Amino acid sequence: METWDYVVVGAGSAGCVVARRLSDNPSMRVLLIEAGPSSKTFWSNVPAGMAMLIGDERFDWRYMTEPVPALNGRRISWPRGKTLGGSSAINGMVYTRGNRRDYEHWVSLGNPGWGWTDILPYYKRMEDNVRGANEFRGQGGPLKISDAAPASRAVQAFIEAAHRCGIERVDDLSVAGEEGVGLLQATIHKGVRQTTYDAFIAPVRHRGNLDVLTEAHVARVLVEGAAAVGVEVIENGKLRTIRAAREVILSAGVTNSPHILMLSGIGDAEHLGAHGIRARVHLPGVGKNLQDHVGAHVKVQTRPGWSHNRDLRGWRKYREGLRYVVAKTGYLGASATLAAAFVRSSSKVDYADLEIGFRPMTFSQAPNGNILVDDCDAISANVYRVRPASRGEILLRSADPLQSPAFHANFLSAPEDQEATLSGLRLIRRVLSTDPIASGIVGELQPGPEARSDEQLIEFVGKYGKSSYHPVGTCKMGNDALAVVDARLRVRGVNRLRVIDASVMPTPTSGNTAAGTTMIGEKGADMILADAMDILPPT
């Protein structure tokens, strides 16, 4: 049996960070395990290549939810990265920290040390922001943060129209943790996607104390007595045992971390027993508390010159491709969403509970998740409730580690989520009917001018609503009955085992969740080192 000091499962948005920071100490031997392969293809470097990567079984787990009642019983595509970099290798690259009050809420739920002032140093440490350092931004860290480009005519018009509707402009929208409207930043460097693997692992891959194992599927955590001692992996169809002298860290994501725990006998005892798995630790919260950002797009037809669609279809897409290959510029070098407004759905809400994202283009998604640019001049804005009340769960289908679990997403099951979404759709219409953006719009394509009543708009959401691919919460931290890890991310009832990824968020950050997941990797790694070597966190 092979032994490392630390075994990190999952080379994604958090796992790459954890492995890098642990290996910064040359006396620690670290193994990073990834179920997928390297994703180094042409499209994996191109920001717009996400349309080619999502749905590709080489790099995407291609998960589907169970039928969602509030979405007309549809099964919803739920891509998750299966490659070095994890979901940071196939996501939209949008970089937002969420609202500073999100983190104070985490503290109120029994998680000391996770307030805004506690986590801000970790955000700044990990960032190399093109705008330079200030009280919010970091510079000199591994992860390159750039301004989303190009900030075209339509993008600027959307921001101005939102401002005229009473939404305050925020210059540092991605990092300041405030409400308002502005440009979004992205994990793109000189026109190339920056995954957490690119940022944190690739520069130190040569280290003698850091090993990376790809195409190895972790079947379970090995537990002896009350402690995790390693993992069992399936590699080339054969079982392999890997030992951890210090700790096992699950960074396999919102779907796979709870799945691995359950396969290891850590979860709800009754549910495990139904699949013939002996419960080592009864933790009923494993797989529970699933939350995601779910919403719908408003699409409007525009006059020529307002939409990117024309440049991304037909012969023009080859011109854009050449432009990108030669100079790494143009529409292929842009992130998925270029501007956003964080607003309140009503005056009763304490702080912004809606994100309205703007795109100077439109696309349609096939049932299998494939993405195609629409064949017309059009732009779009989508809305979702950033702190949903709806809760779902992840359950086992069987004890077979190669069979995916069942995802009962329960999207929009809470009436207040539907009400907030309706408010957001009406606000989008108000912004798009306000100059200067209104002058470029010909008419509404989706949901269409005939959809006016609440009932008609809810019907529209049921037909077209989809996940924004920001699931969190299935191994939440806290001290209540459903908490899976404590505030130091240690699995309750099992020594030497932690979960460090988006599954530990008790509630999602108010915006795209990739940045928060990377921060959790930074803070989690420091907790491991502090517990092992009495190292203090950054100040």
Q: In what order do the strands lie in the sheet with 143-147?
A: 94-95, 185-186, 143-147, 127-129
Give the pLDDT confidence score for residue 312 in this predicted structure. 80
* Torsion angles phi and psi, residue 520, rounded to 5: -60, -35
Q: What is the dihedral of CA 97, 101, 107, 112, to 10 degrees?
A: 60
How many other C-beta atoms can be found within 10 angstroms of the C-beta atom of residue 192?
16
How far apart (Å, rounded) are the C-alpha atoms in residues 347 and 110? Answer: 28
Contacts of 415 (CB under 8 A, 6+ apart): none
Nearest-5° angle of CA 269, CA 270, CA 271? 95
Domains of the chain: 2-40+197-290+473-533 (3.50.50.60), 46-76+145-189+294-467 (3.30.560.10)
Per the CB < 8 A criterion, the answer to whether 60 and 89 are in contact is: no
Note down pLDDT in tens along the chain; length 539 residues.
Answer: 699 999 999 999 999 999 999 999 999 999 999 999 997 788 899 998 888 899 899 999 999 999 999 999 999 999 999 999 999 999 999 999 999 999 999 999 999 999 999 999 999 999 999 999 999 999 999 999 999 766 789 999 999 999 999 999 999 999 999 999 999 999 999 999 999 999 999 999 999 999 999 999 999 999 999 999 999 999 999 999 999 999 999 999 999 999 999 999 999 999 999 999 999 999 999 999 999 999 999 999 999 999 989 888 887 887 888 888 888 888 888 888 999 999 999 999 999 999 999 999 998 876 665 678 888 999 999 999 999 999 999 999 999 999 999 999 999 999 999 999 999 999 999 999 999 999 999 999 999 999 999 999 999 999 999 999 999 999 999 999 999 999 999 999 999 999 999 999 999 999 999 999 999 999 999 999 999 865 444 54
Per the CB < 8 A criterion, the answer to whether 525 and 17 are in contact is: yes
* Torsion angles phi and psi, residue 59, rounded to 5: -120, -5
Half-sphere exposure of residue 176, counting CA atoms within 13 Å on the CB side? 13
The DSSP letter of residue 75 is P
How many other C-beta atoms can be found within 10 angstroms of the C-beta atom of residue 303?
11
Could you tell me the two tokens for 231?
A: 């993992």
DSSP string, 463-513: HH-EE-S--B-TT-BSSSTT--B-TT-BBTT-BTEEE-SGGG-SS--SS-S
Give the pLDDT confidence score for residue 539 in this predicted structure. 44
Per the CB < 8 A criterion, the answer to whether 160 and 436 are in contact is: yes
Per the CB < 8 A criterion, the answer to whether 30 and 21 are in contact is: no
For the purposes of burial, counting CB atoms within 10 Å of the CB of 272, is it exposed (0-12), middle (13-18) or buried (19 or more)? buried
Find residue 145's DSSP bridge partners: 129
Per the CB < 8 A criterion, the answer to whether 249 and 10 are in contact is: no
Give the pLDDT confidence score for residue 1 in this predicted structure. 64
List active site positions. 470
Q: Is 300 marked as a binding-site residue?
A: no
Q: Is 92 marked as a binding-site residue?
A: yes
Q: Is 94 marked as a binding-site residue?
A: yes
Q: Is 93 marked as a binding-site residue?
A: yes
- Between helices 415-432 and 454-464, what is the axis angle to 10°? 100
Whose tokens are 């207040």? That residue is: 416
Could you tell me the two tokens for 150?
A: 């190009």
Q: Is 45 marked as a binding-site residue?
A: no
Could you tell me the two tokens for 53?
A: 């990567």
Signed CA dihedral, 61, 66, 67, 70: sign only: negative
Find residue 213's DSSP bridge partners: 33
Total-model pTM? 0.96
Per the CB < 8 A criterion, the answer to whether 142 and 124 are in contact is: no
How far apart (Å, rounded) are the C-alpha atoms in residues 69 and 353? Answer: 23
Contacts of 388 (CB under 8 A, 6+ apart): 291, 292, 293, 294, 412, 414, 417, 508
Give the pLDDT confidence score for residue 41 in this predicted structure. 86
